[in-house]
Chains A and B, each alone.
Chain A
Amino acid sequence: MSEIKIKVALIGNPNSGKSTLFNSLTGLNQKVANFPGVTVEKHVGNFTYSDAMLGVNYNIELTDLPGTYSIYPKTLDEQIPFRVLIDKKDESHPDKVIVIADATNLKRSLFLCSQIIDLKIPVVLVLNMMDMVREQAINIDIQKLQNALGVFVIPCVARKGEGIDDIRNAVVSNHNMLQNDFIDSRSFAPLVTDSIKYILNIDNNYTAFQIANNFEKVDLSFISNEKKKEIGKIIYQGHFTSSSMQAAETLERYKVISLLMKSCITHKNDRQQKSFTSRLDNILTHKVWGYAIFLTILFLIFQAIFTFAQVPMDIIDGAFASLSDAVKNALPAGEINDLIVNGVLAGLGGIVIFVPQIAMLFLFIAILEDTGYMARVSFIMDKLMRKFGLNGRSVIPLISGVACAVPAILATRTIQSWKERLITIFVTPLMSCSARLPVYTLLISIIIPRDYAFGFLSMQAMVMMAMYLIGFFAAIGSALLMKWFVKARERDFFIMELPVYRSPRWKNILQTIIEKVKIFLFDAGKVIIAISVVLWFLASHGTGDSFKSTDKKLHINETNGLLTEQEVNELEAQRLEASYAGKMGKLLEPAIAPLGFDWKIGIALITSFAAREVFVGTMSTIYSVGKDNEDTATIRDKMLTEKTEVGTPRYSLATGWSLMLFYAFAMQCMSTLAVVKRETNSWKWPLLQFAYMSGLAYLSSFIVFNLLK
């Protein structure tokens, strides 16, 4: 059997069922990456098709292009379909294009389809949602449409798998379809079109016309700078204005489409689907009910990532603990053992632990997206969020940030505007995440008495609530600030479709969850393991006699076990003090002394970078109560009795508040940084975020310490 490779692109309007079709065609056989240079997800999948009669095996590589209404590149994301379709040298440039159309709204889909027909890339037009068409008693004359367009027209119901084989068949078909010009694209500017064809040595009118419109906006590999200048000159001389040309083209296409619709489609009665959606919208976008329902959903999501995810997280935690023990005992004691157990495995455990929260959050988000509810969230929240430079869709990431910033930042992909998405990514880590909770709990128990205001309001609970509010206001305030500094890459519109409500497609949802978990594990995971190993090295290595002798004593004890628990704890404290991390803590002391921190806190600040809750463990080690001591009361008592050089309590009200504010604002989370790097495609934003949050933390701790001192 001979093998033939075909590159196919899948394109369609948003909400046309594109991802469902993509999943049906490729199954689990797909990869997700970013398109070069931008953070737009690129899904590539493969499927095969065997033609036994011809003895040919087709291997089809299918690229899913971002949903769009036309190939005109207005936003950065929309440059992708344009580049892929126009630039024959682009790695994803297809041999064939599958255009998926919502058959219940054919007019708008045919617009996009007609543009691709005119680019003369062979088109297979898929009419999706044919079941709705039948339900709504719309009659589409497929044969007539196929003849008029000169391309394959395949009816299908993607969510039920109907017509999928016909699509595969059409994609590999050698049958020569005519694919007539849909409109005469030369007619708008004959001279300019001809000249561009001549300069670039291309033969397609519409390609030349598209280049005339967009050559300044999008760089194409086959247009050199000299040729660009030449084209610029021709456009200037030909008085070619892109906006009026585009408008003329659009009008012309819709004129032809209207005629086509009249001859191929007959409506019997009008949309029941629509009225169901409209009635549901009466409730879901209602002044009172709309917000009440949204709040309830938010609470449910919050509950899920905060508490339901706890069960699998505890299991993962336990599993890694036993795995660590097993590895520790199986391998000979020494450096390698320590590296694997406390560096690599600890890092790995720290990554896998996030999986339940990510899966849980995306289960909800995917359902909200898939049913069409997410568009309503944007609709009812837009005015409010816009004031802060955010988007209606920023609400879910922000609220999820209270559980954990990592899944929350992954969730910002639903925000289309780059500026609003970036601001959301930037401020989400300021929301008090669950890793801060143990830190707050410990510190509050030290500095806030167990008193009740008015006899029933717990002071400790009120301070805890205040910490959450501080995080929230810091996030909102920073968003306001960012609004002035971040330049928008493109003009921001709120022109968006409110799709009809549909029941969720569980396969798509499962696919989304798997994808997000994979992205986190493999992309962000690398960075997290690397930092984890560095932190391990800093805390377990050192120079000088003091480090070496304590380290040696501890190693001997590992084999003979002669020391008492208290002795081990004290030695571990000494070793940490003498390690590189300890040295760094001491080095840091002059810088953090104005905040009321000593070198011991300095060490905790460094190790907290693995995850904020490590603060408690580090404190336990430093105060020699044993690093595995789960009982906060012991460490609390130790910290309470700790004195400064002048004999006052080390953990005074001033230092306590200062430390809490520091933990509220500082970017002490390598996982978050790794995810921000992944989602913004550069180190610029995570580094800026790190600098901004550390600066904010330092400043506010400094102020509060000096006010309360």
Chain B
Amino acid sequence: MKSKKLSEVAVGHSCVIDSYTDDEIKLKLMEMGCLPGEVIRIERLAPLGDPIAIEVAGYTLTVRKSEAQTVLINTID
């Protein structure tokens, strides 16, 4: 397990939320169910590479790359 940013995870891969570096984004994502320990799967990228669609807690969310940079994750192998 190695700590990385959510923006660095490749499409199709899953990871586990570790922590957040931005308070506002943290609160917004947490109340939508993205809690530390929750598994995220990168579902797809928008055709222009940004934003990202992630699958979490049984539904799909979009985040911009810049927002995903504030989410620290642990990779799952």
Contacts and interface: CB of A to CB of B under 8 A. Distances in A.
A114 to B, nearest CB: 11
B54 to A, nearest CB: 10
Contacts of A74: 24, 27-28
A107 B46 contact: no
A417 to B, nearest CB: 12
B9 interface: no
A104 B64 CA distance: 26
Contacts of A383: 46, 48-51
Interface in A541-589: none
Nearest to B61: A497
B10 interface: no
Interface in A280-303: 281-282, 285-287, 290-291
A104 B58 CA distance: 9
A484 B50 CA distance: 22
Contacts of A380: 46-48
Given A247-B26, A254-B33, A383-B49, A108 B67 contact: no
A72 interface: yes
A282 B44 CA distance: 9
* Of listed B25, B31, B53, B64, residue having the most chain A CB within 10 A: B31
A72 B59 CA distance: 22
B29 A495 contact: yes
A20 B50 CA distance: 32
Contacts of B46: 285, 379-380, 382-383
B31 A250 contact: yes
Nearest to A282: B44
Contacts of A247: 26-27, 30
A70 interface: yes
A495 B61 contact: yes
Contacts of B63: 494-495
Interface residues of A, number: 41
A522 interface: no
Contact of B32 (A108, A277, A384, A494): A108
B34 to A, nearest CB: 9
B60 interface: yes
Query: Considering residues B23, B48, B60, B67, which has the most beta carbons from chain A within 10 angstroms of its beta carbon?
Result: B60
Contact of A70 (B23, B25, B31, B47): B31
Contacts of A375: 62
A493 B47 contact: no
Contacts of A503: none
B25 A498 contact: no
A271 interface: yes
A23 interface: no
A72 B29 CA distance: 13
Nearest to B29: A495
Contacts of B50: 382-383
Given A380-B46, A382-B50, A493 B31 contact: no
A72 B25 contact: no
Contacts of B28: 74, 493, 495
A72 B24 CA distance: 12
Interface in A476-510: 491, 493-500
B47 A286 contact: yes
Contact of A495 (B47, B57, B59, B67): B67
Interface in B13-48: 23-33, 35, 43-44, 46-48
19 contacts: A69-B32, A72-B31, A74-B27, A107-B33, A107-B57, A108-B59, A246-B27, A247-B26, A251-B35, A282-B44, A287-B47, A375-B62, A382-B51, A383-B50, A494-B64, A495-B32, A495-B61, A497-B62, A498-B62
The 8 closest A-B pairs by CB, nearest first: A498-B60, A383-B48, A70-B31, A243-B23, A287-B47, A494-B64, A250-B30, A383-B50
Interface of B: 23-33, 35, 43-44, 46-51, 53, 57-64, 67
Given A105-B57, A498-B59, 17 more contacts: A70-B31, A107-B33, A108-B59, A247-B30, A250-B27, A254-B33, A271-B58, A277-B60, A286-B47, A379-B46, A382-B46, A382-B51, A382-B64, A493-B25, A495-B25, A495-B32, A497-B59
